[in-house]
Amino acid sequence: MSRILLAWELGGSYGHVATLRSVARELRARGHDCLFAVRDLRSAEEYLPELGPLLQGPRPPERSRSPVKVQASYASLLHNTGFDDPVELAGRLRAWQELLRTLRVDAMLANHAPVALLAARALGLPRAQFGASFCVPPVTAPFPSFLPEASVRDAVLRHNEAKVLQALNQALDRLRQAPLDGLQQIFEGCHSRIFGYRELDTYDPALREAGIHLGLPDNSHGDIPRWPSHPGPRVFCYLRASQQLQALMQALQASRLNLLVRITDLPPEKLQPFERPGLAITGQSVDIRQAAESCDAMIHNSPDGTTTEMLLAGKPGLLVPLDMEKSLLAWRSQQLGAALVSGDTDPQRIGGLLEQLVEDDTLRRNAQAFSARYRGQDRSAVLPAYVDDVLASL
């Protein structure tokens, strides 16, 4: 029996804790003790408390000292999450190392946790990383561009990495630890797996090692979707508060659609003005897999798990991405011809997209084609196989 820390450091969706929960269940079934160091205690409290001690993990600063407006690669992401401040970064790295020492863990599994991986590396702890493709960058030098439709010169990517590496090495120097030769060493010797599919990889799948894509585990959680008794196509909306939300809710209210709406970070009473017959707003977690299977289409911000469940169910989507990761995944879904992507704030134009979403047979056929490719996969086998594999590697 081993003591294994599951660490989550970056990102803000429920998908992170859902994945931690699923992996922890498999580890516990094999007799291992699980501990959690997480970014967000609220979402962790909903998913994790019965599986092991739950701790607040060292968090990056809320704002970078000098954020870059357009993230070009994983190096830019690191820059914007505190790798531009050697003193803060040294403190965070020290805190992760002290946490690992104090907990006396035997290994660490990381979900979007680069500083935790650095800490485990410095202590010589066995470590692994898992999760969505965006969280597991290809270990190429330089890291590949986040901008698939723009031409970012290799020299620009290398220049960005050099600046971030300089700050990281200054942090390591404060801790009297050896410098790194490149940012890719954060992941050196780290067992890495992606819970997803090649077609939806936010990076070029040609850069990946064979077998890294495992498919999406069944992370089912939440209530059975309760649809309004109303005519019209069923559309499930899973959204967060954003500058587009007001216009989107106005368009939904004016539509003929039969809607079930879940806004994760707003109480339902704030959305009551938009309710109508056939538009139900819920404050409870909804089982995304069941929602995808029982709807005709989906509208969401393109988080990894939700997007993948949508396509595995063969349903088209209207995607409203809010950050770089979700923009990349939305772009992949659009390239498959199975989704519309919008950041529009005009209710009338959004209304036109809603009609296209439920009437465009091409969108539906392309989503169904994705579903058909993976219909034979036993998703219940993904996690047991992964945990056996990762334990053998540690």
pLDDT of residue 149: 75
242-261 burial string, b = 16+ CB within 10 Å, else e?
bebbebbbbbbbebebbbbb
Q: How many helices (H) and strands (E) does the chain have?
A: 13, 12
CB 203 within 8 A of CB 133: yes
pLDDT tens digit sequence for 288-335: 999 999 999 999 999 999 999 999 999 999 999 999 999 999 999 999
The phi, psi pair for 184, rounded to 5°, reads: -60, -20
pLDDT of residue 12: 84
Fold equal for 3-215+379-393 and 234-373:
yes
Amino acid at 120: A
| pLDDT of 184 over the 90 cut | yes
CB-facing half-sphere around the CA of 239: CA atoms within 13 A: 28
pLDDT of residue 156: 93
Instruction: List the structure tokens of 159.
Output: 């220049």
pLDDT tens digit sequence for 251-277: 999 999 999 999 988 888 999 999 999
**Least confident among 31-35, 61-65, 132-136, 225-229:** 61-65
- Partnered with residue 193 across adjacent β-strands are 130
Task: State if pTM tops 0.85.
Answer: yes
Which CATH number is 3-215+379-393 given? 3.40.50.2000
Average pLDDT over residues 329-343: 97
Q: Where are the domains of the chain?
A: 3-215+379-393, 234-373
Q: Tell me the percentage of the chain whose pLDDT exceeds 90.
A: 91
pLDDT of residue 126: 97
**Which CATH fold would you assign to the domain 234-373?**
Rossmann fold (3.40.50)
Q: What is the residue-averaged pLDDT of the chain? A: 96
The phi, psi pair for 341, rounded to 5°, reads: -125, 130
Label residue 63 by pLDDT band (50, 70, 90). Answer: confident
Average pLDDT over residues 219-228: 93
| pLDDT of 197 over the 80 cut | yes
The burial of 58, by beta-carbon neighbours within 10 Å (0-12 exposed, 13-18 middle, 19 or more buried), is given as buried
pLDDT of residue 13: 72
